[in-house]
Amino acid sequence: MELYAEKITFSKKPISIPPEYRPSYSIALIVLILKICCQGSKSSLLKLHLINWALKSNENKSSLKKFVLSNYTESSKTWGIEPSLNRALNYSVHEGICSISNGKYRVLEKGEKFYSKILENPEFLNEEIEFLTFLGKRKITDNRIDLIYKKWKNQNA
């Protein structure tokens, strides 16, 4: 059976895209994480994914907060790797917002300007900034994340 159509048309429909899938939102989070939570504004991919995961829900934030406040003795939930964050990181590197060297992402001058723009509006990402400020630069180091990951891997592999 064969079907023929003389004309096929497509019409654009407005679709609401959740913020976490918008590249601009993800890139803003990357810059905020690097500036607020990372020594020298540099971070490993695992640390970026951990903090990004925490920002996804109040439950995740609470879990990470409890873990930090327990001096890392409380068990932490396993965090996920988000493909949309990887895409945003690739875009950030391509656009000169961040660079990657020796497995570490670092904010560049364009990212510094973006960070300043974010901070100009106190209403913009204020919940995220508050949580990231709680974490600060020293609470979750790349070394600590590597240890958590190795412990989780040994227990669950």
Q: What is the pLDDT of residues 94-122, one digit of tens each?
A: 999 999 999 999 999 999 999 999 999 88
Q: Where are the domains of the chain?
A: 20-137
Domain 20-137 CATH assignment equals 1.10.10: yes
Q: Spell out, as residue ranges, where the chain has pLDDT lower than 70.
A: 1-11, 13, 75-77, 155-157
Both tokens assigned to 141: 């180091």
Q: Distances in Å between the alpha carbon of 142 and those of 20, 44, 49, 79, 116?
A: 24, 6, 12, 15, 25
Q: How many CB atoms lie within 10 A of CB 15?
A: 5
Give the pTM. 0.83
- What are the helix and strand counts (H, E) for the chain? 7, 3
First to last CA, the chain: 52
d(CA 88, CA 22): 9
The mean predicted confidence, pLDDT, of the chain is 85
